[in-house]
Amino acid sequence: MLYVVLFFLIFSLYLYVVLGGADYGAGIIELFSSEENQKITKKTIYRVMGPVWEANHIWIIILIVILWIAFPAYYNIMVIHLHIPITIVLLGVTLRGVAFVFRHYDAIIDNSQQLYDTMFKVSSLVTPIFLGMVFGALISGEIMVVEDASTLSFYEAFIRPWCNIFSVLVGLFFAALCAFLSSVLLIGESEGGNENIYIRKSTIAAIVVFVVGLVTFGYGYFSGNIFVLDFIKDPFTMILVVFSAVLLFPLWKTIKNGNKVWSRFFAGLQVFLILLAALISHFPNIIITKTGSISLMDNIAPDAVINVLGITLIIGGTVILPGLFHLLKSFKMIKILERNSTSN
């Protein structure tokens, strides 16, 4: 059952990164668009994200609930030392969700739209950066775990773990990844020759992802980050990363041919490979502290808990996944498939 729980943990992490990430990315794209393109993007986002965005963001709740039920000791370190960035993420999630609904459900369209738009765009950028910083913090080697946190200074215990160059770089990398995913998604959803806007955006985003990724690795390597050193040493993870980079070519080709389903598949696969590489290189020691590393498998909840959780997840999954698939299919895929078949 432990493996079922682990599967769902990684599965919801992946889905959150891809679906939630594309969702954040949409706001980032809108932020970095000209005024005219912003209007087009706003409309497209509403059409594409409207029915599904809430579902996209529930994955993080599933993720966090699995963490606290099955891996309480691990969760404990996160919520104590990363209190501040997690709070900022929550603030971002709140403002962003509210702004999205306000701008589409306000009965009267007037100047307040500008406020909603700004709230939506800015929080779309800030939230994934801090989320990425949380990921970065876990592997930065800056977290100090001691019996009594009051023996450390406030800076050592609650600021340095996440407020360091490496974590910030990971944050930027994650935000760029979101923008990349979203632009690939939006290519397939734009209408009336607007595809080119998003093709351009996806190219820029891909370059940013590549450059920031390289800088992050470079910095990690030269500053002796254990995670990065292990990552590079492990041939298997390097193969995954290279493979992910190679996928840019078929991705580019499918985008040019207007094959929306395959282009999304390739973009999703790339993210999956990157995530897999990151997980594999250090699994299960996912928290790297100043003094060593903490395994996800340390202090696991008792078997009875894991078993019940596993069964719940299987049942929940069989109810939810078909429904979710149907939702996506009803509003997204059908449209794409129809358009593909008519254009052929």
Partner 1 sequence: MENLDAARLQMAFTLIFHIVFACIGMVMPFFMVVSHYKWLKTRDQIYLTLTKSWQKGVAIFFVTGAVSGTALSFELGLLWPEFMKHAGPIIGMPFSLEGAAFFVEAIALGFYLYGWNKLPEKFHWFTGIIIGVSGVASGILVVAANGWMNAPSGFDYIDGKFLNIDPIQAMLNPAWFTQALHMTLAAFTATGFAVAGIHAYQVYKKRKVELHKKAFKIAITFGAIAAILQPISGDISAKDIAVRQPVKLAAMEAHYNTEKGAPLYIGGIVDTETQEVKYKIELPKMLSFLAFGDFDAEVKGLNDFPEDEHPNVAIVHYAFQIMVGIGSLLLLAGILYFISLKRKKWFDNRKYWLLFVILAPLGFIALEAGWIVTEVGRQPWIIHKIMRTKDAVTPMPGIVFSFYMYVAVYLTLSIAVTWLMLRQIKVLNRSNH
Per CB under 8 A, residues contacting partner 1 are: 50-52, 54-55, 57-58, 60-62, 64-66, 68-70, 72-73, 75-76, 78-80, 83, 86-87, 90-91, 93-95, 97-98, 100-102, 105-108, 148-150, 154, 157-158, 301-302, 304-305, 308-309, 312-313, 315-316, 319-320, 323-324, 327, 330-331
Q: Measured from the CB of residue 323, what is the shortest distance to partner 1 in angstroms?
A: 5
Q: Would you mind telling me the total number of residues written for the chain in this entry?
A: 344
Nearer to partner 1, 226 or 305 (CB): 305
Closest CA to 132 of 159, 169, 183: 169
Q: Closest distance between partner 1 and the C-beta of residue 294, in Å?
A: 14
Nearer to partner 1, 32 or 68 (CB): 68
Are 169 and 215 a contacting pair, CB within 8 Å? yes
Residue type, 64: I
The minimum distance between CB 291 and partner 1, in angstroms, equals 18
Phi, psi of 163 (to 5 degrees): -95, 70
Min. distance of Cβ 12 from partner 1 in angstroms? 10
Q: Which is nearer to partner 1, 259 or 312 (CB)?
A: 312
Least Å distance, CB 300 to partner 1, is 9
Residue 89 dihedral angles phi and psi, to the nearest 5°: -60, -45
Give 106 or 191: the residue with its C-beta nearer to partner 1.
106
| Residue located via tokens 């001691």 | 146
* For partner 1, the closer CB: 149 or 199: 149
Decide whether 22 or 274 has the Cβ nearer to partner 1: 22
Which of residues 60 and 273 has its CB atom nearest to partner 1 in the complex?
A: 60
Widest pairwise Cα distance in the chain: 68
Q: What DSSP element (H or E) covers 19?
A: none
Q: From the CB of 122, what's the least distance to partner 1, in Å?
A: 14
Helices (H), 157-194: 165-187
- For 205, counting Cβ atoms within 10 Å of its Cβ (0-12 exposed, 13-18 middle, 19+ buried), the class is buried
Least distance to partner 1, CB of residue 317, Å: 8
Cβ pair 310, 4 in contact under 8 A: yes
List all residues 6 or more positions away from 317 whose beta carbon is below 8 Å from its beta carbon. 8
CB of 4 to partner 1, least distance (A): 12
Long-range contacts, 236-239 (Cβ 8 Å, 24+):
236/280, 237/277, 237/278, 237/280, 237/281, 238/277
Of 155 and 221, which has the nearer Cβ to partner 1? Answer: 155
Check: CB of residue 227 under 8 Å from CB of residue 281. Answer: yes
